[in-house]
Structure 1
Amino acid sequence: MPADAVTDTLALLNDTHTRLRGPAHVGVLVPWGNTIVETELPRLGLDRVVYHYARLVPARRYRDPDDFLAEIAAAVPATLHQFARLSLAGTLVACTSTGFLTPEAYQDTAVVDAFGALQTLLHDVKASTIILATPYPTRHTQIQAARLQEQGFHVIAHASLDLGLLDDFTAVTPDRIAGLVHGIDAERRSRADAVVLSCTAWPTIDATALLQHELGIPVVSSNLALAYSAVRLARAAEA
């Protein structure tokens, strides 16, 4: 990692936020069953960012997790209309998996999804060699690792809790997340520039602080990355 690289992503977020001159409004599209996004974003203390939430509701019932994600992604264009009367600095899609599995569903819309937000924050902390940790099924974690590789990142190791995509991720504890990362080979951990905690549906703020303290490298979570992109959108609107 370069000598001038950022090692504390929470501090970077707060520093970037303090440069805002006034309040900014940002839309957030949230998968209908996700209760973590609206809990974590306010905890980050960005009092100059006003979030407006809308739910991404599938058009039909589904039985398969992949159908669920496809339906969530397909709902983005229509759900954006709920923000039509608002003056927003930009809109976020608070789902990481749609960004690496089905981004074509909303590629013609002006949104930033959590997968793109993760990459932006990784670039800004000058991280190129990363560890990926997720609650996802192993297959989806492997797909995300491959997509990150395609985007120029070296995924030196990845680990997952191997939960079902339709399972409840909200009860995953910071210690369990930290244990998932510490379960990766120590030699590989020592070569990583950053840890990525992917998924907006598991609680990661406390785990981010814990792992940064223990490992001494930046930790980038999906919700932290969304907040960072919200501030970037706000600063661009001010400019």
Structure 2
Amino acid sequence: MSHDLSADLTTDAAACEASPAPGVPDASRIGLIVPSSNTTMETELPELFRRQTEATGHRYTFHSARAAMKQVTKEELAAMVGKAADCAAAVSDADVDVIAYACLVAVMAQGPGAHKESEQVIGEAARANGHPAAVVSSAGALVRSLTAIGVHRVAMVTPYMAPLTQLVREYVEGEGVEVVDAVALEVPDNLAVGRLDPAGLPEIARGLQREGAEAIVLSACVQMPSLAAVQRVEDELGLPVVTAATATTYEVLKALGHTPSIPGAGALLTGALG
């Protein structure tokens, strides 16, 4: 009796494409939605979660979808937001446990409270695709993390042009956190933002008007590298330091039900402030 091996292979291949590999015990899958030009979030987050793994033994893997965005303009940011649902469906194919929407200013540029709508759209797209997941946005994570640790006034560094920095400032203040000072580095090209040297951040932070500030937002952007400077600035200035990346990490861990245990990235991620 003959046996059609090619038919078996076709069936197996279809089944493989239809369903992701089953989850691994003591491991979590994290989905990322990032701008196409992002070069930082997929380096800083894995490093932070590597430290969490060293402390706890729990493992994390990352699975990304990209939406086109090269220049940090309101037009390109709006176009990226319009692709959020498609990206969510794509990344949810990996049966991720949580989806992080990693473009802070793209969301904030859509107006007050936009992170709530974006998180809802992403969550609904994942559910409709048959793979529901918790959802965190960098925009929501930043404002919620500050509120969670009792911060009402911050000083902030952004890489954006001045008008977008003002927009971010107003968005944060609309969520109940006063921005006592905000420095705009005015770098419009997103790839160039990813090339900024975090070694320059301590000096920039020293120049912030910090009177009345209860924390420093050292990078209000997931693309601006900052991880190497977070602990140094926190130790030197004696204020909690939060970035878009550390806030996103904090909320991803909370969504997974995990206690932050990450050294060398500010008190937020040691679990001391939450």
- TM-score higher than 0.5: yes
TM-superposed CA distance for 1:55, in Å, is 2.9
The 1:62–1:203 alpha-carbon spacing in structure 2 relative to 1, beyond 3 Å, is: closer
TM-superposed CA distance for 1:72, in Å, is 1.4
The 1:165–1:116 alpha-carbon spacing in structure 2 relative to 1, beyond 3 Å, is: farther
CA contact (8 A) 2:37 2:70 kept: no
**Higher Rg of the two aligned structures:** 2
| Corresponding residue of 1:194 | 215
| Corresponding residue of 2:47 | 43
Q: What is the distance in 2 between the residues matched to 1:84 and 1:162?
A: 34
The 1:63–1:223 alpha-carbon spacing in structure 2 relative to 1, beyond 3 Å, is: closer
Counterpart of 1:219, as a letter, is V
Residue 147, structure 1, aligned to residue 171, structure 2: yes
Deviates more, 1:140-149 or 1:164-173: 164-173
TM-score, normalising length from structure 1?
Answer: 0.80
TM-superposed CA distance for 1:63, in Å, is 7.5
- Structure scoring higher RCO (CA < 8 A, sep ≥ 6) equals 1
The 1:83–1:166 alpha-carbon spacing in structure 2 relative to 1, beyond 3 Å, is: closer
Counterpart of 1:195, as a letter, is I
CA contact (8 A) 1:49 1:231 kept: no
TM-score, normalising length from structure 2?
Answer: 0.70
Residue 136, structure 1, aligned to residue 160, structure 2: yes
Q: What is the distance in 2 between the residues matched to 1:72 and 1:25?
A: 23
1:2-13 aligned at under 5 Å gives the runs none
CA root-mean-square deviation: 2.3
| Corresponding residue of 2:201 | 177
1:108-127 aligned at under 5 Å gives the runs 108-110=121-123, 111-127=135-151
The 1:25–1:167 alpha-carbon spacing in structure 2 relative to 1, beyond 3 Å, is: closer
Alignment gaps of 5+ in structure 2 = 1-24, 124-134, 259-274
The 1:53–1:31 alpha-carbon spacing in structure 2 relative to 1, beyond 3 Å, is: farther
Q: What is the distance in 1 between the residues matched to 2:148 and 2:118?
A: 27
TM-superposed CA distance for 1:79, in Å, is 1.1
| Corresponding residue of 2:247 | 225
After superposition, give the CA deviation of every residue in 1:200-235 in whole Å (9 maximum; x if it has no partner).
111111111111011111111011111111111111
SS in 2 for 1:109: helix
Alignment gaps of 5+ in structure 1 = 1-20
The 1:170–1:181 alpha-carbon spacing in structure 2 relative to 1, beyond 3 Å, is: same
SS in 2 for 1:149: helix
Counterpart of 1:203, as a letter, is P
CA contact (8 A) 1:76 1:106 kept: no
After superposition, give the CA deviation of every residue in 1:77-99 in whole Å (9 maximum; x if it has no partner).
00112233433322111111022
Residue 55, structure 1, aligned to residue 65, structure 2: yes
Deviates more, 1:168-177 or 1:142-151: 168-177
Count of aligned residue pairs for this structure pair? 211
Identity %: 23
TM-superposed CA distance for 1:167, in Å, is 5.0
| Corresponding residue of 1:3 | none
| Corresponding residue of 1:34 | 38
